[in-house]
Amino acid sequence: MTASIIKLDTTPEDHHIARMAAVALGLTVLENAIPSPLPGVKPGLANIVTLIVLARYGWRAAAWVSLLRVLAGSLLFGNFLAPGFFLSLSGAVCSLAMLALSMHLPQRWFGAVTHSVLAAFAHIAGQMLVVYLWLIPHSGIAYLIPIFATAALVFGTVNGLVAMRFINDAPTSSRLTG
């Protein structure tokens, strides 16, 4: 019997995406330790990584990091294919769609803060849509929109500022490249 070795050909870019996704995953774990007053209101620290990757390596890499983080995070917390997973996924997909649009804004005028806030609004919009269409098909959930919108505005701004700091501080390479 011969030992069979399965070798996947990986590129440096793959390694890089995996590292960034791991950093994002770490932030997700960290964030889960923070108590939240309302399910769904959380800072979304992992999106800082997504924003940095978006600024440095483009949308494709950012999408990989974001979706890998959602998938790995759900496996880690044991809610893969549970409602919470689909909420994360819908939020991430809507955020990425928004980022795909907002990244074309002139960079001279719009920075990570804009991307972050817009993505945060898209995130809650996507989540509320899934909640409404699937989990709680009742117009009463509209009552919660102001809370989620305020959280998106605040946390979106904070995450954007943190991401912008990293983007500005290390303009060429390293630092967060892992």
The least CB distance from residue 162 to other proteins, in Å, is: 9
Q: What binding mask, one character per residue, do residues 57-96 give for other proteins by CB under 8 A, x or -?
A: ----------------------------------------
For residues 151-170, which are near other proteins according to CB under 8 A? Answer: 153, 156-157, 160-161, 164-165, 168
Residue from 108, 171, 172, 173 binding other proteins (CB under 8 A): 108
Residue whose tokens read 């001279």: 108
- Angle ∠(156,160,165) on CA atoms, nearest 5: 155
46: closest CA among 14, 71, 79?
71
Check binding of 43 to other proteins (CB under 8 A): no
The pair phi, psi for residue 30, each rounded to 5°, is -60, -45
Local structure of residue 4 (DSSP, 8 states): P
Q: At what angle do helices 12-32 and 46-57 cross, to 10 degrees?
A: 160
63 with 96: CB under 8 angstroms? yes
Binder among 81, 143, 171, 174 for other proteins (CB under 8 A): 143
Residue numbers at the binding site for other proteins (CB under 8 A): 105-106, 108-114, 117-118, 121, 138-140, 142-143, 145-146, 149-150, 153, 156-157, 160-161, 164-165, 168
